[in-house]
Structure formats: C-alpha cells, structure tokens
Amino acid sequence: MILTVGNTKGGVGKTTLAVGIAITLARRGFDVWLVDADRQGTAQTAISIRAESGQTPGIACSSYPDGPALRAQVQQQATKFDHVIIDAGGRDSTALRAALVLSDTLLVPFQPRSYDVWALDDIGALVDEARSVRDGLKALAVLNCADASETSADNAEAAAAVAEVPQFEYLATPVRRRKSFSNAAGAGLSVQELKPADKKAVNELEALVDALFGNTKKD
C-alpha cells in the first residue's frame, strides 16, 4: 500500500504519525519506505537519528519535497517495498498533489480545534482533484492530539464535524495528546520502543495501524 499522511493545515502531528506508522509496520516484519515530502525534512531527521543510534529495525527513508521528483521516484521504486509511507508537508504543494495521485489511501490527521476542522474542506478539494485523475483514492480523517478524556466534548464535536465533509471517512481510532509520542518521534522511535512503555500510547498507535493495514505480520 502507498499511504500518504498529509493535510494542508500545519501543526496537526502528521510527521509523528507517519514515523510511528512506518516503524510499527517495520516491527511487524514489512519492508517499509518512508518518503519525506516536506521541505522541513523532519521525518528524515528522525530516521537519521534512529540510524545513528543503531536502533533496529532500520527504516529506508528518502526526501522528495518536489512533485515531479516524488512522482518519478515512487513510480520507479514502490514495488520494491511492501508499504510506502509518504509524509506530505502541511500546505498545498506539488509534492502533496503528486502524492495524492500516487496513493491508495490518504490519512488526514486533525486536532479537535475549529481551525483544523475547517481546513478539511481545503484538503477535501484536493482529494476531489486527485480522484478526477485516478479512481480508488481512499480518504480517511483521524483525530490526532485528541483530549485525553474519553468523554471530551471537543473530541466528539470534532469527530461529528467530519461527517459534514463528504470526501472523508472518519477513522474511529483517535490518538490522544501524550508526551510519549513527541518523545519517541524526537528520538527516531515509535512509542513501542520507549522504556518504560506508555501502554495507552502503544495501544492507540497499534489500533490505528490495524485499522489502516490490518492486524497482520509478514511471514
């Protein structure tokens, strides 16, 4: 599968999710290629830190922040991997547009804030454009950095608002605001690799990956 984690709204935690998803899949035995399509290069920096620390499994990571290069390289190289995870920048860019045309699934993280919910209309318009070029793009929205409370009104209102954006299906596997996610990403790790483990964070990330890829490991 080619999965793009992207949004035209910045600050929604997409790189943390992209890195966590890629590492989780690699830990399950899959060959994963993480493509950093953001000019800030945060995902590539995280994977470089991971490599320098000798952490295993290793993650293949490349940076293609320009649409034409991204399109050409993914078309040429994607079949060498079980899964390709593209971390697209938090803005409308040639790389994001190219990623949408290449991807099987778009995962749009959004936080329980009005600005984030309103921004879904912008990325929704890009989904429509991509679907006019190729059929089959699945678009999912997931609540990220959600309030920790299981009964948060803000979480519930944000989730309900997704139903009003026709391009998206709401993925009911919220990832809550936990320090362990940022700590892990900054060290080039997934939350499963932190010591001591944050079991709630681990369960949330695993549930998200299960929803996207199924609860499977590579034989």
Task: For residue 166, give the 3-state DSSP assignment.
Answer: coil
Alpha-carbon distance 82 to 89, whole Å? 23
Query: Mean pLDDT, consecutive 10-residue segments, the chain of 219 residues?
Result: 91 91 97 95 95 95 96 96 92 91 95 77 92 92 84 83 89 92 93 94 97 88
* Per-residue pLDDT, 157: 87
| Helices 179-186 and 14-27, axial angle in degrees (round to 10) | 70
Residue 51: closest CA among 187, 195, 190: 187
pLDDT tens-digit series, residues 197-213? 899 999 999 999 999 99
pLDDT of residue 112: 77
Phi, psi of 125 (to 5 degrees): -65, -35
Sequence-ordered strand ranges (E) for 89-210: 105-110, 138-146, 169-176
Report CA dihedral (88, 160, 132, 84) to the nearest 10 degrees.
Answer: 30
- C-beta of residue 68 within 8 angstroms of C-beta of residue 98: yes
